[in-house]
Amino acid sequence: MAADAAVRRNAMFAKRLLSGAAALAIAMTFTAHVDAAVAASTTAGVSAPLGAKLSAVSCPSSTICIAVGYAAESARVLAERWNGTSWKILPAPNPRGATSSSLNGVSCSSATACIAVGGDDKQADPLIAAAPLAERWNGTSWNVLPTPDPAQR
């Protein structure tokens, strides 16, 4: 299953960022969190589409991690924060006019300074490529950053 491979890849990434027991605990909790999301999307033994996907994680410390991805049901970006004990969803905006957006990478230099990147689709036509998307976390809120669109050259 693709979700299992992504979970393993993200858990291995978290282990590389940190060392020792803290890294293992975060990686295991991240895996359990995504596994719980998969389990919550399954009822009566019938598999339902996965409603959310976390694509990337950045851990500026052993007790702070920011993960980003996509919430399929709302076609919105998804951001979550690990505080050393549990995950919490962080409200993150979609760009104005976007019909679907996702964040695919994140880098945090501290708990109050993260940049996440991905794409947003402002077109109804799925053959038109998504525009670049960048958002900044300042420790309190996410804000969409202006990015040049190569399609507008």
Instruction: Give the C-alpha separation, 36 to 130, whole Å.
Output: 30
Each residue's pLDDT expressed in tens, for the chain with a length of 153 residues: 454 555 455 444 444 444 444 444 444 445 444 444 433 333 333 333 358 889 999 999 999 999 999 988 788 899 999 999 999 999 999 888 888 889 999 999 999 999 999 998 876 555 566 789 999 999 999 999 998 877 665
Q: Which helix (H) or strand (E) holds 102?
A: strand 100-110
Instruction: Give the C-alpha separation, 115 to 109, whole Å.
Output: 9
Say what the pLDDT of residue 153 is. Answer: 55
Say what the pLDDT of residue 127 is. Answer: 57
Instruction: Give the C-alpha separation, 138 to 86, whole Å.
Output: 20
Task: Count Cβ atoms below 10 Å from residue 141 Cβ, excluding itself.
Answer: 12
| 126-139 confidence digits (pLDDT tens) | 556 678 999 999 99
Say what the pLDDT of residue 134 is. Answer: 95
Determine contact, residues 68/106, Cβ cutoff 8 Å. yes
| Nearest CA among 16, 105, 30 for reference residue 68 | 105
Domain residue limits, the chain: 2-152
| Nearest CA among 5, 6, 18 for reference residue 108 | 18
What pTM was estimated for this model as a whole?
A: 0.65
Residues 6+ apart with CB under 8 A from 21: none
